[in-house]
Structure 1
């Protein structure tokens, strides 16, 4: 079971995070200050740290810096106060992979955690995902439609895997850009439309129609999990 270390001095936030992470299959380690967080980091092997900026004693920036020096590949998400843009910039400069602004959506945090773990090469414990006629082999990074493997680029694979992990969830173009390309990738979100169009041509029964991937006009895309009835005829 993958371990996540929460370093947060507010009991309510730490407890909220712990409940949601445990529900999603993570083992949770806790510290309410930076010194204890660094001690736990030395003793345990967390794959990721959720780190508050404002901590008693050693602040979150210093913890982030020391954590990155100790474990180059560990994922780090910093929690910042609303409107504190300088905190975000400093956190990234000290080695954080991402940041969340309080208050935050627990689903968004979970998706960002998964995106970071993919980027740093932490394998999913669940090797096979299934949705309708689609199967994802996360170990071999392959997608099958029925018994036929679909030839995908790495980005196309990441998009469809994200969709299958979150069926019926609507993703904005900006969310897909952040979760698949990373927050440090600066590009027009139209690159999402290009990749979705290519993906549809490979997985849809009729490439000119919307079946498995549904467009949410003016927003983004959603995985339906099955083709519309009119496209099955």
Structure 2
């Protein structure tokens, strides 16, 4: 019977590294991510709705590269807020205010647990593949990317190449951001720490409800 060799979890993660707000995949391609605000379309007037649709249509038609839109739902974590309230409770010198603060903490905690409040966050992922890796199959927008063969996960991208590719990727990011702003959607690029937390949450569903993602350990 052939011997089965166990693989480490890292081999199943298609990310080589994250630096300067850019995700470098094992296949050599790059990803940037924007966090987008929501838009209450139903509350807009008919003319405003038509204007938003028209601007969004123009935005999609202007793109000559693939992008990915996705939404992340997560149970609301109010522990940091409760910790702040507990500090306020401890610092209270007025006994009545101290009791009221404690009761308020219990009310908020019980309300959130009973209601199962979920937060929704919207993202746009913008890809860039250097010419040798370019593909017209439309899979480049995937947040996880695509592994092609056995990649050398220990190889670090040359700094000069990284800056060149990063500059070209950022041109795409600017184009996407401007198009969405015209549609009434506010966007902000994710930095390195935010990208780590995002991917950690995707690969470890439910873990972020217990707290923040572990810090990045520099090799």
TM-score range (shorter-chain normalised) is under 0.3
Give 1 or 2: higher strand fraction.
1
Give 1 or 2: higher helix fraction.
2
TM-score by length of 2: 0.25
Greater gyration radius: 2
TM-score by length of 1: 0.24
